[in-house]
Structure 1
Amino acid sequence: MRAYRLTKAGAAPALLDIPVPAPGPGEIGLRISACGLNFADLLMIEGRYQDTPEPPFTLGMEVAGTVTSLGPDTTGPAPGTRVAVFGGQGGLAEAGCFPAARAVALPDAMSFTDAAAFQIAYGTSHVALAHKARLQPGETLLVLGAAGGVGLTAVEIGKLMGARVIACARGADKLGVARQAGADHLIDAACDDIREACRGLGGVDVVYDPVGGAQFKAAMRACRPEARLLTIGFASGEVPQIPANHLLVKNLSVMGLYWGGYLNFRPEVVTESLATLFDWYEAGRIRPHVSHVLPLDRAAEALDLLRSRKSTGKVVVTPSEG
């Protein structure tokens, strides 16, 4: 089978032919129909992600496909079942083996493309806003990087939760996507003063930040007393250094959110969140925004869309049909 693999640290990934793996105990074999890309995939290539496997490994954190086989002492899901799986690696391939416990059966109406774009982006935003920040109806939510993979879902979920949503992104096209997702107010990060724009709107109660750097600093200065700031990631490349005295004066709270980490110490948080999100999908309340769908032999191009900030929402790679 074909797989897009990182063979050693510092090397460029490559599309290789490798044997089809056999599932071990507690695993399922999967024919992979779609793989959602994430900024973390880029960090893995650079060796800068907190959960980067030791090379060699196949890139691709979240997948959707059809179960083909079960490993020893594995009871399900049964072969033929359509599932989505957050595997952490292994998705950019025509087939793979993944933990059966992480496989989520798909609603009949959900396409593989939607499923591959669903878990990390929606899961991160829902756990961040509902579980960590306890976002309340009527509060003001500022979403940085609002047209990106996780940012766009934060706009959508924040609006569903009854917040007034301020979306911050670069350029009219990306801001238009955020408006379609439900944003009430728009800030162009390329030319607007984030702090002054937010203060002109009365300040913010919750900041959702996958960007870091100068945008985090500006957002913090626009916070109302007792605001909560969610650090989701650092797409800017700069991890902000937070002045504790500013937190003290305004009684601010800064909260880190690593969605995958909950699978290790409180998996029920993820399970309950995904149940809610799949219910919302079936009810037509949320729909993934996928700007690009490319075949496996264009995986490098797909990753470059993330690297160059040319995508909105999610980029999905389709290793096999069906």
Structure 2
Amino acid sequence: MLRVLCTEFGDPELLSTVEEPDPTPGPGEVLVGVEAAGVSFVDGLIVQGRYQVRPPLPFTPGAAVAGTVLAVGDGVDPSRVGGAVVGSIMGYGGYTTHAVLPAVSAVPLPEGVSPAIAASALEGYSTLVFAVTHRVVVEKDEWVVVLGAGGGIGLAAVDVAHGLGARVLAVASSAGKRAAALAAGATAAIDYTDLKDGIRAATDGGADVVIDPVGGPAAESSLRALRAGGRFCVVGFASGEIPRLPANIVLLRNRTVVGVDWGDWAREVAGPAGNAALLADVVGRVGRGEIHPPVPVEAPLADAAAVLRRYAERTAVGKYVLVP
């Protein structure tokens, strides 16, 4: 097998690719021949040692894989060999040609959903489906503002909100990213200039929901643009700056700030079986055409550092997968 290895926290360029013997699944596990490994902004933070989860060194980055079951361990139905699956490794281990997963975590892929689509969609769409099924209610025709709408999480937020019948205002820094958000279903798109007034003007007076994976100054501006009863969803801090949201603005007009941490819920609350049910919901929605993840850009394992650099510099549009 080949796998990408991180031996010290730092720049993605420090990653290397190593060859090792193929792993063997243990009891209750399956061995997956990886056909696509999802890449995310969070992967880069983990590699740099800047994320709340710091795996022991050395480790292989990557939280999402899709491919074919090659072998099963004791206690696993042998008929699963040859089946197409997607799975979350919850933090690291995915940038490889062969991955061992708990059998319960390897979710069968619906017919017509490719490994590349599944692996690229798993993290972003799981976060957003978790948000709208466990953390916040989005009603038909409500205005949902998505910050960072041209990135992977942002495009997933646009797609999920649009699928729920909401009107989506995409906020993105470049014309190309705004165009991608409009293609994903956004009703309108703006940049970050005079953001509070821009949101209010585009949403007929104020947003009902803000999805914020960016943080930084845009967070407070968009919080102030919420209408009465508005909900502000804290998803992440791609800008690198954690905002200090003023409590008085939350109090005024009965606004709500909601944390959205799918990973913590999956690890600490749902467990493997509960998280697998969420993943099955996500790929089921894809298979039924209820959400529409874009076709990702494919890159070889050897390009892992370059892809992570694009995410860190916020120059990536859409999603990437590593294809062993």
Pairwise TM-score range, normalised by the shorter structure: over 0.9
Give the match for residue 235 of structure 2: 232
Shift of 1:77: 6.8
Give the match for residue 34 of structure 2: 32
Give the match for residue 22 of structure 2: 20
Q: How does 1:85-234 map to 2 (within 5 A)?
A: 85-87=87-89, 88-189=91-192, 192-200=193-201, 201=203, 202-234=205-237
Give the match for residue 61 of structure 1: 63
Consecutive unaligned residues of structure 2, counting only runs of 5 or more, are none
Provide the rounded CA distance (Å) in 1 between the counterparts of 2:285 and 2:99.
29
Deviates more, 1:171-180 or 1:300-309: 300-309
Give the match for residue 46 of structure 2: 44
Give the match for residue 291 of structure 2: 286
- The answer on whether the counterparts of 1:290 and 1:312 sit within 8 Å (CA) in structure 2 is no
Q: Which amino acid aligns with 1:65?
A: G
- The answer on whether the counterparts of 1:127 and 1:269 sit within 8 Å (CA) in structure 2 is no
Provide the rounded CA distance (Å) in 1 between the counterparts of 2:156 and 2:83.
27
Q: Which amino acid aligns with 2:64?
A: E
Consecutive unaligned residues of structure 1, counting only runs of 5 or more, are none
Deviations 1:18-75 (A, max 9, x none): 2222222322111111001011101111112222311111111100011111223334
DSSP-derived class of the 2:190 partner: strand
- The answer on whether the counterparts of 1:291 and 1:312 sit within 8 Å (CA) in structure 2 is no
Aligned equivalent of 2:269, options 256, 265, 271: 265
Alignment RMSD = 1.8
Give the match for residue 9 of structure 1: 9
DSSP-derived class of the 1:254 partner: strand
Deviations 1:100-150 (A, max 9, x none): 111110112111111111221111112213421111112110000111111
Shift of 1:76: 6.2
Q: Which amino acid aligns with 2:135?
A: K
Q: Which amino acid aligns with 1:294?
A: A
Give the match for residue 319 of structure 2: 314
Provide the rounded CA distance (Å) in 2 between the counterparts of 1:230 and 1:75.
40
DSSP-derived class of the 2:217 partner: helix
Provide the rounded CA distance (Å) in 2 between the counterparts of 1:2 and 1:57.
13
Deviates more, 1:86-95 or 1:296-305: 296-305
- The answer on whether the counterparts of 1:290 and 1:316 sit within 8 Å (CA) in structure 2 is no
- The answer on whether the counterparts of 1:123 and 1:270 sit within 8 Å (CA) in structure 2 is no
Provide the rounded CA distance (Å) in 2 between the counterparts of 1:199 and 1:86.
38
Q: Which amino acid aligns with 2:76?
A: T
What TM-score does the superposition give when structure 1 sets the normalisation length?
Answer: 0.93
Identity %: 38
Provide the rounded CA distance (Å) in 2 between the counterparts of 1:76 and 1:258.
35
Size of the alignment, in residue pairs?
A: 317
Provide the rounded CA distance (Å) in 1 between the counterparts of 2:99 and 2:79.
15
Provide the rounded CA distance (Å) in 2 between the counterparts of 1:77 and 1:133.
39
What TM-score does the superposition give when structure 2 sets the normalisation length?
Answer: 0.92
Provide the rounded CA distance (Å) in 2 between the counterparts of 1:275 and 1:63.
14
> Do the aligned partners of residues 178 and 237 (structure 1) sit closer, same or farther apart at CA in structure 2, a change above 3 Å counting?
same
Shift of 1:3: 0.8
Give the match for residue 71 of structure 1: 73
> Do the aligned partners of residues 100 and 50 (structure 1) sit closer, same or farther apart at CA in structure 2, a change above 3 Å counting?
farther
> Do the aligned partners of residues 40 and 256 (structure 1) sit closer, same or farther apart at CA in structure 2, a change above 3 Å counting?
same
Shift of 1:280: 2.5
